[in-house]
Amino acid sequence: MEQSESADGPPVEALRAVFDVHEVRSDGRRRIYYGESLVPEQMLVREIWPAFREAGYDVQAQVGDLGQTDVVIVEPASQGVEGVPWKNIALFALTVLSTLFVGAYAWYYIPLSDITANPLVILRAWPFTAAVLGVLSVHELGHYAVGRYHGVNVSLPYLIPFIFPFGTLGAIIRMRGQMPDRKTLFDIGVAGPLAGLVATIIVTVIGLSLEPMTVPSRVLVGSSDTIVFNNPPLLDAIATVLGRPTEYADPRTVVHPVVIGGWVGMFFTVLNLLPVGQLDGGHMVRAMLGERQESLAAAVPLVLFGIAGYLHYVRGLGLNESVGLWFFWGLMATFIAYNGPAKPIDETPLGPARMAVGLFTFALGAACFLLVPVQVIPG
């Protein structure tokens, strides 16, 4: 039985123009309309979206096969963070602890026995933690700020604690509801890499300006395998401008761990700009090229597998010399390509200004790319 609509409820008259309503039900804050769509699914959402969005509602449609009931789901649009984001806070605290521990042990060379005897000694690694979490958080907050500006329901960042070598796997945000148009999709997608790269450059400049670290002799004597993080072109360019070295003749001298925060920012920028799935690059290219993005996304895994094959069969590198890294991301790209980027309701193409910003952002990402970013050299 159809329920009455309140005057301040969803603009049901806009729905009736393209949807024959048979029944209305309430499910918490959601209102569900059952009936028959008079137009194709994509057109249905496009026709009713403006009126519902103006009234403060998000809307989704599910159009079934011939003879099946069609459904329109309406719920109030989120107005921001509701309540205390305990999950975000807990993950942030855990990631602070994991990066402090990894930073103290791996980058400040504090013995595990000292950490066990006095756990507070890990606080000495706070510059490393601030650098790594700074670049990752600014990246995700860029998405969040622009998403809120456009009225899109986005979550606060979720930081992901991990172990070596950085103490974290990065950070993510969640986007809910419909994407209004390609401009909004592009703005949200590009905001993270640009904000993150600004933070990355600042962190790299600070790190290179700090005094280098001295590696304890016990580490040099007792070490077997050595993990080498090769410099991306952008890091070398910053060092050249500052006139600061990134390597020293004395093996006991290494750059300050804050520089690693800049390296992390550059590496994660490269991964995020892969034009597949829900990655930033996937959103950006979907906004820039429309549905043609799918063809480009299908080629990305092949390119990554090709890089792994080239490094192994042509250059003779092993799995621990970035061959395994690119093969792994080839598999990841294959998996996430099936879950494509958000589909905007309005498919109006981007203007030349946004297209230029997109090309500029991918150029900056290319300046962070290395064929062999990480190597494990046997002792």
**pLDDT (tens digit per residue) in 268-318:** 999 999 998 888 999 999 999 988 888 888 899 999 999 999 999 999 888
Same domain, 25 and 138: no
Residue 1 in domain: no
Q: Side chain identity at 67, as an amino acid letter?
A: G
Same domain, 178 and 251: yes
User: pLDDT under 50 in the chain at which residues?
Assistant: 1-4, 6-7
Same domain, 25 and 158: no
Which residues, 6 or more positions from 252, have their beta carbon under 8 angstroms from its beta carbon?
214, 215, 217, 220
Question: What's the CA gap between 139 and 80, in Å, rounded?
Answer: 19
Query: Position of tokens 């990554």?
Result: 304
CB 163 within 8 A of CB 102: yes
Residue where one domain finishes, among candidates 20, 47, 76: 76
Same domain, 221 and 275: yes
Bridge partner residues of 376 (DSSP): 227
Residue 122 in domain: yes
Same domain, 140 and 58: no
Residue 186's SS3 state is: helix
pLDDT of the residue at 38: 82
Q: What letters, b where the CB count within 10 A reaches 16 and e where it falls short, cover 293-317? A: bbebbeebbeebbebbeebbeeeeb
pLDDT of the residue at 140: 92
pLDDT of the residue at 3: 45
Residue where one domain finishes, among candidates 28, 47, 76: 76
Question: What's the CA gap between 71 and 368, in Å, rounded?
Answer: 46
Residue 374 in domain: yes
CATH of the domain at 27: 3.30.1360
pTM of the model: 0.84
Same domain, 30 and 154: no
Residue where one domain finishes, among candidates 76, 95, 114: 76
The pair phi, psi for residue 347, each rounded to 5°, is -95, 20
Residue 5 in domain: no
Same domain, 237 and 146: yes
pLDDT 10s digits, 107-150:
998 999 999 999 999 999 999 999 999 999 999 999 999 998 88
Same domain, 228 and 192: yes
Residue 198 in domain: yes
Domain that residue 34 falls in = 12-76
Same domain, 182 and 102: yes
Q: Side chain identity at 128, as an amino acid letter?
A: F
Same domain, 183 and 71: no
Bridge partner residues of 249 (DSSP): none
Residue 4 in domain: no
Which residues, 6 or more positions from 134, have their beta carbon under 8 angstroms from its beta carbon?
199, 203, 261
Which residues, 6 or more positions from 51, have their beta carbon under 8 angstroms from its beta carbon?
11, 14
Summarize the chain as % helix, strand, coil (round to 5).
Answer: 55, 15, 30
Same domain, 143 and 47: no
CA distances from 124 to 35, 66, 100, 103, 304 (A): 63, 66, 8, 9, 38
Same domain, 27 and 106: no
Residue 7 in domain: no
Residue 3 in domain: no
Q: Which of 91, 93, 126, 133 is closest to 107 using CA atoms?
A: 126
CB 61 within 8 A of CB 41: yes
Domain count of the fold of the chain: 2
CA distances from 287 to 42, 204, 332 (A): 17, 31, 22
Torsion over CA: 38, 42, 48, 52 (sign)? positive
For the chain, state the CA radius of gyration. 25
> Tokens at residue 324, please?
């395994």
